[in-house]
């Protein structure tokens, strides 16, 4: 008998959510067969069988949060379907189950005294101390006390009968629904009027309720944190794209023939950003406590819209790459993002980010920082606008608004403005980008 374990997924990821089981109890599997899909804050992973056998028991269900090293199922020898209530399986579960199963938590709200999932997992499972024999985790007992719930009334999913925080939440939601459906109070506390929870909200017209994906919840959390922790400001400018469009028109066919990749706008903007970062190094920094960490390398994040939400894969050492290498890197990363095959290595790090809302038609926006970075450049739609060439002449020019959001804690307004002007000047004179390597 062997455990199906949650593998290590990188230093910044400690937990994930089971999005889908691809097998069921009793299924025969071979070594290397994919058993389940795990959704994390950054990427989705497939967990495969380390040995051939039969899926004896599924310990954690779809939608549950699990941590690194946790057993989510059991594989044993034999063939045919295995009864969930067989004594052999029960004994295996008792032997193989972790001594301290973790408390399921969501990325947006960690209860239990503000401790991390790893810290909660290390807490012992003990009696609730309320005079009964129910076994529950500390955070489950805390939540039960706060909501006036008798733990002996809570039905847990754990095969050994232990109660975790998610079980208490489920019980509380069920009690709320019962109270809403019946005028009889379920407990003395029910005599008091209670505010309606989101799950109790009634709609007079048809609605569809969808569970927020783990990645979407993490994106939401990080964007709010960025606005709450950084002194974020945005400065704007506009770029005359005439010269770049001319270069692309004249060179795109030969460029494609020679390098087998199209000559897009992103290579120009990446080169311009690197050139500006070299002149204004604070924009390529981050805040670490009371220190400013100035980074002497240029790993540029390129925001990509994927099915599961926005991701920011990173083009490494962009200052050392030519136009073709940048275009190939971006095309490869964008393809992996849309096929949901990005690795953690593709996403980690990054010193500055570029996001292009123009591909969706955005004319002007204020991008939000990709913390802990202190700068992000927003590109927008190219639009013909009448521009004064001199006192007497007007011409229709292809113009693009660009925006720089920055952390005012370490970047002064004048520095941010000069950075963006530098980006503008480099883009309007594309040949100068060849000198910025």
For residues 381 and 358, the answer to whether their CB atoms sit within 8 Å is yes
CA–CA distance, 107 with 219 (Å, rounded to integer): 10
β-pairing, 34-39 vs 44-48, is antiparallel
Q: In terms of Cα–Cα distance, which of 264, 430, 425 is closest to 354?
A: 264
Spatial neighbors of 278 by CB under 8 A, at least 6 apart, are 298, 319, 436
The Cα-based distances of 432 to 149, 243, 400, 423 in angstroms read 69, 12, 19, 11
Q: What's the token pair of residue 269?
A: 């903007």
Q: What are phi and psi of 57, to 5 degrees?
A: -155, 135
DSSP letters, 341-359, are ---HHHHS--SEEEEEGGG
Q: Which of 130, 150, 253, 408 is catalytic?
A: 408
CA–CA distance, 268 with 247 (Å, rounded to integer): 11
For residues 239 and 331, the answer to whether their CB atoms sit within 8 Å is no
The Cα-based distances of 36 to 30, 93, 374 in angstroms read 14, 19, 37
3-state secondary structure 211-249: CCCHHHHHHHHHHHHHHHHCCEEEEEEEEECHHHHHHHH
Residue 383's CB: how many other CB atoms inside 10 A?
16
For residues 380 and 363, the answer to whether their CB atoms sit within 8 Å is yes
> Does the annotation mark 317 as catalytic?
no
Q: Which of 130, 150, 253, 412 is catalytic?
A: 412
Residue 356's CB: how many other CB atoms inside 10 A?
21
The Cβ-side half-sphere exposure at 239, using a 13 Å CA radius, reads 32
CA–CA distance, 85 with 73 (Å, rounded to integer): 15
CA–CA distance, 33 with 51 (Å, rounded to integer): 9
CA–CA distance, 91 with 97 (Å, rounded to integer): 10
> Does the annotation mark 412 as catalytic?
yes
Q: What's the token pair of residue 279?
A: 């002149």
Indicate which residues carry an active-site annotation: 408, 412
């Amino acid at each position: 008998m062997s455990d199906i374990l949650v593998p290590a997924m990188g230093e910044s990821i400690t937990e994930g959510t089971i999005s889908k089981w691809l097998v069921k109890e009793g299924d025969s599997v071979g070594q290397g067969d994919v058993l389940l899909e795990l959704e994390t804050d950054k990427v989705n992973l497939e967990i495969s069988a380390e040995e051939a056998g039969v899926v004896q028991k599924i310990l954690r269900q779809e939608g549950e949060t699990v941590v690194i090293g946790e057993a989510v199922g059991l594989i044993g020898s034999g063939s045919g379907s295995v009864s969930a209530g067989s004594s052999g399986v029960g004994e295996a579960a008792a032997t193989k189950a972790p001594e301290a199963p973790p408390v399921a938590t969501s990325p947006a709200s960690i209860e239990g005294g503000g401790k991390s999932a790893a810290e909660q997992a290390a807490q012992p499972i003990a009696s609730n101390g309320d005079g009964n024999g129910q076994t529950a985790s500390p955070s489950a007992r805390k939540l039960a006390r706060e909501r006036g719930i008798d733990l002996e009334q809570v039905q847990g999913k754990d095969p050994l009968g232990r109660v975790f925080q998610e079980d208490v939440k489920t019980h509380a939601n069920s009690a709320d629904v019962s109270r809403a459906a019946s005028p009889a109070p379920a407990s003395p506390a029910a005599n008091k009027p209670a505010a309606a929870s989101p799950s109790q909200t009634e709609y007079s017209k048809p609605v569809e309720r969808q569970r927020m994906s783990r990645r979407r919840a993490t994106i939401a959390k990080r964007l709010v944190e960025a606005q709450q922790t950084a002194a974020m400001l945005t400065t704007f400018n506009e770029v005359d794209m005439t010269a770049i469009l001319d270069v692309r028109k004249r060179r795109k066919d030969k460029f494609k023939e020679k390098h087998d990749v199209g000559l897009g706008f992103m290579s120009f903007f990446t080169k311009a950003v690197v050139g500006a970062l070299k002149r204004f190094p604070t924009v390529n920094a981050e805040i670490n406590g009371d220190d400013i960490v100035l980074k002497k390398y240029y790993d540029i994040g390129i925001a990509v819209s994927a099915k599961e939400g926005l991701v920011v894969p990173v083009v490494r050492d962009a200052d050392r790459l030519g136009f073709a290498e940048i275009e190939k890197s971006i095309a490869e990363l964008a393809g992996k993002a849309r096929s949901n095959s990005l690795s953690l290595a593709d996403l980690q790090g990054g010193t500055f980010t570029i996001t292009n809302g123009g591909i969706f038609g955005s004319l002007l926006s204020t991008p939000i920082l990709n913390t802990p970075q202190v700068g992000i450049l927003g590109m927008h739609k190219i639009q013909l606008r009448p521009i004064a060439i001199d006192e007497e002449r007007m011409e229709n020019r292809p113009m693009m608004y660009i925006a720089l959001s920055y952390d005012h804690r370490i970047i002064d307004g004048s520095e941010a403005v000069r950075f963006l002007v530098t980006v503008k000047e480099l883009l309007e004179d594309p040949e100068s980008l060849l000198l910025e390597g």
